[in-house]
Amino acid sequence: MNPYRTAGLVTAAGASSRMGSPKALLKLPDGSPLAAHQLRRLVKAGCDPVTLVLGSEAERIQNALPTDLPTVINQQWETGRFSSIQTGLRALWPFDACVILPVDAVGLSDRSIDQLIEYANQSKSSAVRPTYQGKPGHLLWIDQSIGQRLLEYEGAMDQSLQDWLRDETDLCEINDPQLTANVNTPEQWRQWFSALSQQ
């Protein structure tokens, strides 16, 4: 039994400038939008509650997503990713732990999310990031203490969360090369979509 009440946060507030259209609305082979797919993966892993953080083109994205999809809007998204994470954590608070998944980290397996949560629940770590062959992945697990510090943080919003947590992050090696990948351009999306369609 999961000893933690683990929340789930999907971040999708950026401008998707290299993609040319909102990543949250990219369509999977079954027609579902990517944002809904990523949130449902966190639900499947046992995360509750979950939410999607929007920023750029938030109204357009909300209108195109299923109405039952929990969303929150970061009005200050242009200041940096920290503000979007704070917006999402605030909507989910309080929680015992939280899994943070960027909307464009599309290739990692459901099992990798499960393994991260299992490892974190058994460790005494305050932050856990999965790695593949020593390279940090985009997925992150944080406990309540880190969540509280993030909510109280008032410094620069454009810095890397990975760097901010570097000295206290436990690295968990998982055999999933897609942990370190994300999708930023139409060509990368076409390649991933084609590979998924053939599975």
pTM here is 0.94
Q: What is the DSSP string of 64-118?
A: HS-TTS-EEE-TTGGG-HHHHHHHHHHHH-S-SEEEEEETT--SS-HHHHHHHHH
CATH tag, 6-197: 3.90.550.10
Q: Is the pLDDT reported for residue 199 higher than 80?
A: no
67-93 pLDDT per residue, tens: 999 999 999 999 999 999 999 999 999
At 21, list the tokens: 């259209």
Q: Please give the Cα distance from 31 to 176 (Å, whole number).
A: 25
Report pLDDT for 4.
67
112-130 pLDDT per residue, tens: 999 999 999 999 899 999 9
36-77 pLDDT per residue, tens: 999 999 999 999 999 999 999 999 999 999 999 999 999 999
CB of 101 within 8 A of CB of 11? yes
